[in-house]
Structure 1
Amino acid sequence: MDLIQLEMFNAVAETGSINAAAQKVHRVPSNLTTRIKQLEADLGVDLFIRENQRLKLAPAGHSFLEYSKRILALVDEARMVVAGDEPQGMLALGSLESTAAVRIPPLLASFNQRYPKIQLSLATGPSGDQIDGVLEGKLSAAFVDGPVLHPSLDGVPVYEEEMVIVTPGDRSAIRDARQVNGSDIYAFRANCSYRRHFESWFHHDGAMPGKIHEMESYHGMLACVVAGAGIALMPRSMLESMPGSHQASAWPLPPDWRYLKTWLIWRRGAKTRQLDAFMGLLNPLA
């Protein structure tokens, strides 16, 4: 097994095609076919399922891809350290939408100014998607609702969010979920930690939400609430950043449910030099 084989394997895994992978790594297709077969022989397993002209990762291939990416990333990091250059390369971050919109824009601006050679990308989505992205090696790190108790992940708390129930402006104060029993709620998909938190609050108080309408943005949620179509849960910082927030009322959850911490997580043992540089600009919570 060598680094060229790993690069070829990654290319085939990403493209699903020997010909496309060959163009990506600037090799002839026959060379890739031979080297991939040699790699499978060395490992003693089939890494791909071959269907006509397409190659799909076999179960062993999925597992091996994670390690292959980590090995190549470590090699790149080692080259940069030995060369003594400033950090460079890719840093793929994931984030909750609210964190990306309110908390980290100044941080990203400072990072880009300080480390211009690092190519930073940002993907937003629910905590569940971000955690999967880190575990699968698609993301170097992600901002998620924490703590995240997973044996393959490390993390630190970085922000504290006050969670508020957003209702139409003429709604009276809410202190108990039974006051909004059966209300329609607007939320992200089922793998959103804030949605689970909201549903858990209902169940704790012996109440049930009505229909759950899945939305793609907080702006959409707020518009529906202001129109009188239901209620939503979101961080106060997110609500106050949006136009039209003055048309809604915000009611804090009870003390035991009111605050959630946002964590930055990364795969254990896979912290890169780029991620270290990014974390150097953070101010983690005590």
Structure 2
Amino acid sequence: MTLRHLRIFVAVCEEGSVTLAAEKLYLSQPAVSLAIHELEEHYGVRLFDRISRKLYLTSAGNRFLEYAVHISSLFDEMERDIQNWDTLGALRIGSSITIGAALIPKAVALYSQQYPDVEIKMVIDNSQVIEKKVLANEVDFGLLEGAVHDPNLVAQDFAEDQMLLVAAPGHPLAQKEQPLLPQDLKSQRFLLRERGSGVRELFESVLLAHDLSVEPSWESINAESIVEAVVQGLGVTALPYALVKQDLAAGRLTALTVEGMDFRRKLKIIYHKNKYLSRSAKAFLELCRQLASQFLLDSNP
């Protein structure tokens, strides 16, 4: 079994066809079929079910694909890192939306001054998407909010921030004496981030601890659109302080305090447990840790 076998297997999985994989790899169809046969013979398992001239991954095939993708990507990583050891190449970073807005621009700017020959490739999306990209080795590491769900990921806390429940100053909840009681949130119109975001996950887990649940009237990946809707009196939302502090200072929003509800959370650095982090990658993570104290000062009420 060789790296060539793994690459052929991954190509067949990606293309869903021996013929298309052969075309992609500039190999003959018999050569691709032979490689798959040799893999199945070597491990004594069936990797594909062949039904009606179509290929379907078996359970063993799905498991093998995880290893094949990881091993292939590690080899590519070794080639890139050894040839361009910490002076050239690219650093692929994934970030959740809040961190991407509040911390990443400054971190990347400072990092680029120290490592001008390292190209930064950023992906900013919700925490669930970033976690999947780290697992698939589409990014070298991620910075996100909330819980980490896969045991193959290493997660390190690097900062803490505060999420706030906010409404327009004229909203009925804003007019009530603070702190509010959890039951005051019942039957309110909530405007929330999409499922899969760290913000949404934390908000729902805090409510669940108080035997509450809500069905949002608005869902959006765009925090700015949520803020504007709340300012117009369309409902209540929960967002990180970093994303609402200017509107709070301008009096467009009011923070709501609910008795017994704590919306603090840890911000995390995540990477695959088998991931080799280069010196330049570690330097970026260390820079994020150094900036964390300033991030906290700027991002918490």
> Hey, what's the Cα distance between the residues in 1 that align with 2:104 and 2:137?
22
Measure how far apart 1:224 and its partner are.
2.1
> Hey, what's the Cα distance between the residues in 1 that align with 2:49 and 2:163?
47
**Kept in 2: contact 1:188–1:217 (CA 8 A):** yes
Task: For residues 28-67 of structure 1, give each alpha carbon's deviation from its aligned partner in whole angstroms, at most 9, with x where no partner exists.
Answer: 3332222122112212222234455653433222222222
**Kept in 1: contact 2:206–2:263 (CA 8 A):** no
Corresponding residue for 2:69? Answer: 69
How many pairs were matched up?
Answer: 285
Corresponding residue for 1:213? Answer: 218
Corresponding residue for 1:175? Answer: 179
Question: What does 1:183-262 align with in structure 2 at a 5 Å threshold?
Answer: 183-205=188-210, 208-209=213-214, 211-240=216-245, 247-251=252-256, 257-262=262-267
Corresponding residue for 2:131? Answer: 131
The structure-2 alpha-carbon separation of the partners of 1:6 and 1:208, relative to structure 1 and needing over 3 Å to count, comes to closer
Matching residue's letter, 2:220: M
Measure how far apart 1:183 and its partner are.
0.7
> Hey, what's the Cα distance between the residues in 1 that align with 2:23 and 2:284?
33
RMSD of the alignment, in Å?
3.4
Question: What does 1:1-286 align with in structure 2 at a 5 Å threshold?
Answer: 1-52=1-52, 54-80=54-80, 83=83, 85-86=85-86, 91-111=91-111, 114=115, 116=117, 118=119, 120-125=121-126, 127-146=127-146, 148=148, 150-171=150-171, 172=174, 174-176=178-180, 177-205=182-210, 208-209=213-214, 211-240=216-245, 247-251=252-256, 257-273=262-278, 275-276=281-282, 278-283=284-289
Bigger shift: residues 215-224 or 112-121:
112-121
Measure how far apart 1:117 and its partner are.
5.1
> Hey, what's the Cα distance between the residues in 1 that align with 2:29 and 2:71?
24
Measure how far apart 1:248 and its partner are.
2.3
> Hey, what's the Cα distance between the residues in 1 that align with 2:238 and 2:23?
48
Measure how far apart 1:74 and its partner are.
2.9
Matching residue's letter, 1:143: L
> Hey, what's the Cα distance between the residues in 2 that align with 1:210 and 1:34?
53
The structure-2 alpha-carbon separation of the partners of 1:19 and 1:150, relative to structure 1 and needing over 3 Å to count, comes to closer
Measure how far apart 1:5 and its partner are.
1.2
> Hey, what's the Cα distance between the residues in 1 that align with 2:104 and 2:130?
16
Bigger shift: residues 184-193 or 196-205:
196-205
Measure how far apart 1:3 and its partner are.
1.0
The structure-2 alpha-carbon separation of the partners of 1:80 and 1:87, relative to structure 1 and needing over 3 Å to count, comes to farther
3-state SS of paired residue (1:283)? helix
**Kept in 2: contact 1:186–1:214 (CA 8 A):** yes
Matching residue's letter, 1:182: S
Matching residue's letter, 1:279: L
**Kept in 1: contact 2:5–2:39 (CA 8 A):** yes
**Kept in 2: contact 1:134–1:140 (CA 8 A):** yes
**Kept in 1: contact 2:206–2:261 (CA 8 A):** no
Length-normalised TM-score, structure 2: 0.77
Corresponding residue for 2:296? Answer: none
Measure how far apart 1:162 and its partner are.
1.5
Measure how far apart 1:82 and its partner are.
5.0
**Kept in 2: contact 1:163–1:252 (CA 8 A):** no
The structure-2 alpha-carbon separation of the partners of 1:104 and 1:25, relative to structure 1 and needing over 3 Å to count, comes to same
**Kept in 2: contact 1:80–1:86 (CA 8 A):** no
3-state SS of paired residue (2:239)? strand
> Hey, what's the Cα distance between the residues in 1 that align with 2:122 and 2:8?
24
Measure how far apart 1:26 and its partner are.
2.9
**Kept in 1: contact 2:80–2:89 (CA 8 A):** no
The structure-2 alpha-carbon separation of the partners of 1:279 and 1:12, relative to structure 1 and needing over 3 Å to count, comes to farther
Measure how far apart 1:138 and its partner are.
4.4
